Structures are given as C-alpha cells and as structure tokens.
Structure 1
Amino acid sequence: MASAGGNQNGQSAVAQDFVQFALDSGVLRFGQFKTKAGRMSPYFFNAGLFDDGAKLMRLAQFYADRLIESAVEFDMIFGPAYKGIPLAATVAAELARRGRSVPFSYNRKEAKDHGEGGTLVGAALKGRVLIVDDVMSAGTAVRESIAAIRAAGAEPHAVVIALDRQEKATENGRDVDHSAVQYVRNQLGMAVVAIATLDDLLHYLSNRADDGLQEHRQAVLDYRARYGAG
C-alpha cells in the first residue's frame, strides 16, 4: 500500500493536537539550532524529551490515530535502535489496547555473541513490516532497517514517523532536491505516514497570534524557502 502518504491535510485535528502536545512537552522548540546537515534551523524537534510514562502513552496514541487514519497495512512493527525501540513497544501496546495485537521487534547496534545472539530482539521478522521512528533526516536508520528486514526474509512495507520536516536531504555533504521521506516513498515504493508535517506546524503558527508564537512563523517560512523539498 505504498500510495498511503504522509499527512496531506494541514487542518488535520490529529496533526494540530500533536503540534500542541509537542510544544507543551518541550519537544518542539523555537530559536536557533544546528541540524546534522549543518543548517541553522529556527525550530528543533527532540523526541527524546517524551521522557515520562504519560508523555510516551500520549505519543503512542497519536501514532495509533494516524496509522488507523491512514489505513496503511502491516503485519508487525519494527523499531530501529535507539529511539525506535520504545516507540515500537508503546505503539504495539496502544494498538493492542484498541483491539489489535501485533508482534514487534527491534535491533541493537552491536551483535551479542551469547544468549540468543545476533542484532535482532523480539518477534521474528515476517510478513509486511511497519518501521516506527521519530523523524527521518538522512534516512540512515530506515535504510539500515530495510536491509535488516529484507535479510530476514520479510517485507519492509511502510514507515511511520512523528514529524516530517519536509526539507531537502543531504548526500555526500550536498543538498539534493528530495527529502528522505520522498526518497523512501518514491524510490523505494514504501508508504510513509507522519503524525504531523512542517505544513502542519506552519498552519498551527498562523493561528497563534494571541500567544506570541506567530512571530516564529516567518523564520520557519524563510527556512522552508531555502531548504524545503519540492
């Protein structure tokens, strides 16, 4: 079901509620932040700050909401190390709470030479696999996940992320015309679902003149004009 794209509706209630939640949690911040690509971004999204049980539970609800809304199909969940590990576990738990129990697994960075060994932990990879992660910048974690899933004889079928920054990826230190999300969707033929996108963030900011947040909108627009993917 590769045609199931990310959030295409800037007015989505789920997306707008998620932006508010990310701000309230201190996960989404405005200022000047240097990205991995060396860009100075006017906003920063740090999913590592979903750092207590209540936040993680609410985050899993957002993932489940978007997955159900997207109707993307999958048989199991995979969480790439490291941030994808708690995400995979909590999303699987939330889906089970809603009546659909699916297996999940994750990888570790270094293979064990004792016990079960290897780099994969949890359920055996099989069928159509949904990769769960926070954001997709260079797409490195997703590509590594795809390789691991295929090596196990399963199908890397779809990806769900919290935020699609909708900006150009970098390859060999140079900007390219597509984003990592567009690459996975268009070149690899996989569905990519995002709880929210940069469009959703801009829509949120345009309606927040009363609380001082609208002042950040122009800086985000300028950043998008310079680095936004087509």
Structure 2
Amino acid sequence: MYTGKAFAISLVTSFIVSVIICSVFLLVLPRSGGLPFSFGGGGKVEVPAVANMPVEEARLVLQNKGFLMMELEEKKDPNVPVGSIVSQDPLPGFKLDKGALVKVVVSAGGPEVIIPNLEGIPQGQARLQLESINLVVGTISREMHGSISKDAVISTDPPAGTRAPAGTVVNIKISSGESLVTVPSVFKASPGRARSKLERLGLKVSTRYTTNIEYEFGIVVGQDPRSGTKVRKGSTVKIIVNSEAR
C-alpha cells in the first residue's frame, strides 16, 4: 500500500511540475518575440538577400516576400554604392513570419572625392579612372556630337568638379559619333527660303552675289558644298545669289 501511495504522489508531483514549466514557457514566449529561430513550416518565409541593392529595390524585394524593411542607420562604406544596402538583420535564409521586420544598414559611401573631367576620354579609360577613386559607373547613354569622337565621353552626372562620397554612382553620356547632315539643294530658291531650309538642318549660311543674265535676279544660282554632300551640323554652306550688277 505504501508503495502504491508513493507512486501516486510521485505521479501527481510530476504532473504539477510539468504544468508549472509549461505555464512559465507560455508566459515568457510572447515577451521574447517567439522562438529565437525557426524550424521551418508554419507559414514562415525565407528572408531574401538584399545586400548591395539600392534601398528602394531592396524594399520592393522584401515587400514581395511579405516583409517590412526598416533603415537602422547610414554607414560609410567605400565598397558599397551610396544608397545601397551594406548589411541586413536577419541574414538571408533565416525564416520569419510574413509581416516581420527586416533591419538594414544603408551605405553613406566613403571619404569625399572629386568627380574628374572625363570629356573626350574613351569610354573604357573613363570607367577605369572612375573606379580607381572608388566611384561607381551607372547608366551609360549615347547621343550624336559634332566635335567629340565616337565612344568618347561627352559629360558626366554629377558633373566634373563635384565633390561626392566614394561609392557615388556616376552616369556617363557617350558620343555615338559626329552628327552629319545631307546638304539639300537650294537652287533657284529665294535667298530667304534657302537660308531657312539650311538653318533648319543646323547649318550656317554665307551669301555671295553674282550677275548672270541667264537666270532671273533674286534667286540662288549656286551653292557650296553642292547638294547631297554630308557635312557636320554647324558647317557653313555658301549660297550664290543672282543679282543685278551694282
């Protein structure tokens, strides 16, 4: 009988201790923010990697996974472009409930540098020059240019001479070659109409006069360069106007 009572007392005691432990665990768990790590399942989602992404791109990536993003601070880092993510917490691969907060640190770049003057420098050389002072080459656009040779730099944004943190993104405008136009024919046009036609194409006009009784007066009887010639924008076309002898 004594043994049976001892067993019963032991069983009741174990049950009470188990209840107390479970109660304490349930009280502490909500305050601690849940389990310190996830064992998978339960609707949890894996945190994506956003390091080195621009802030808005990182925010969008996290939102698409159901997370919120909080910028903790800016930190100088010459190896990460200004405005991009230096680090994140939790790390990629960690599993969280949807709606959880992912904290990030944003790059403020490194020490200030001066944007160099790259006008006329070939694109590849310009890239090397920017990267050598920890600047990041951004968008490269192209446009025709009358004096800067093909594949050379026209301008940068920020412009040359600007002070900017290392890691700043510099956009480059590159020449796609000289802007050539075809000289139109202005033969027998009035001087005013000839000038208007040429200037609309970005050409300059100079006028010389001659007297030729074979043509009526007040019209263009010659031009140089002749029609069909390809010239740079800004080139001068000479028109010869027939006029009465003075």
Q: TM-score, normalised by structure 1?
A: 0.19
* More relative contact order, 1 or 2 (CA 8 Å, 6+ apart): 1
* Greater fraction of residues in strand: 2
* Greater fraction of residues in helix: 1
Higher Cα radius of gyration: 2
